[in-house]
Structure 1
């Protein structure tokens, strides 16, 4: 009888670690120095939008641009839940995304991040995952601890540490239940560790 090996044998699974502010800027700086317009736009938009990989890669130019200008806010329908979610696009991200669109001469109904292999298609979530791991490795972090959800979790993790406003984060992530937001952020564990760190005995 064949013994099947578990898919996750020897792998670290579970919640992926969000990036810290210094790490965000380290990745940005490296992409800017390399003049990697595409990945800089992808990275900045991934951080701002807080979208799942499947939603980020499927964005079209029309989702974020009107009359030649990148929108400060937009709304898309999530693939996983079928519910709409709004997100902001900060000035820095608007600048880098516009530079990418202009550089690639993308039209309104083009995918924002088109596939380099299949014409008329967007990049795959697997391709995006590989790009994210490349960013992580570029600043010396352990790639086994990170993934595409690291990008999705980054901004909301920073917001939670600052404001502790779970309802706001629930809306930003497009979660239907507040319990999903608590689990997603790992808040109970995070708060317990912070409380423990403050107790000097």
Structure 2
């Protein structure tokens, strides 16, 4: 339903999407990933480096990422090579890999952080017994992308979730694998999430010789 241009109550109303980029947030490129890592290392921000690395490798939604506990990532005195969490949105488990560089940054942060296995990896600034809020996580992502010269309107927490998934799809064209890694219940969601279109399908077909 529209509004009359003569409705005085609407004269000063600002559209909810004014000056905002609406739609899917862009994934990061390899160059941008390393630029953010360099920035965080230079600033000595161990927690943020671990959070950023885990977000990229885990491909988790922000609500699941901030709730991860130390026990989810640690086995004995080492960081796991694979981990699993239950997704808040679907209630289903999703597994993810932890590469060597990511394990190293997590280990460095956990050594400084301390704490017991049942505590959150990234605690709240206000109450250490609670996890970091998704809002705080979003603010950090805004800061990271701005620090390397990107427009924060075009990037967000979902950029980190999409980054590795997009790279895997571009390298393999395997939608089913990406669906499993993202924890999507339907492959249609994965297609929509990655922005797969007819051009992608034709490009893959052109590179397949029979």
Same fold per TM (> 0.5)? yes
- Displacement of 1:138 in angstroms is 0.8
Matches within 5 A, 1:185-200: 185-188=194-197, 191=200
User: Is it true that 1:2 corresponds to 2:13 in the alignment?
Assistant: no
In 2, the alpha carbon distance for the partners of 1:107 and 1:95 equals 19
Matches within 5 A, 1:96-175: 96-175=105-184
If you compute each CA radius of gyration, which structure gives the higher value, 1 or 2?
2
Query: TM-score with structure 2 length normalisation?
Result: 0.88
Query: TM-score with structure 1 length normalisation?
Result: 0.92
**Runs of 5+ unmatched residues, structure 1:** 196-201
- Displacement of 1:5 in angstroms is 3.9
- Displacement of 1:189 in angstroms is 6.8
- Displacement of 1:194 in angstroms is 7.2
- Displacement of 1:105 in angstroms is 1.1
Match of 2:56 among 47, 51, 75: 47
Match of 2:98 among 86, 89, 95: 89
In 1, the alpha carbon distance for the partners of 2:155 and 2:81 equals 28
Aligned residues: 195
- Displacement of 1:72 in angstroms is 0.4
User: Is it true that 1:60 corresponds to 2:69 in the alignment?
Assistant: yes
Give the match for residue 25 of structure 2. Answer: 16
SS at match of 1:87: strand
In 2, the alpha carbon distance for the partners of 1:165 and 1:20 equals 19
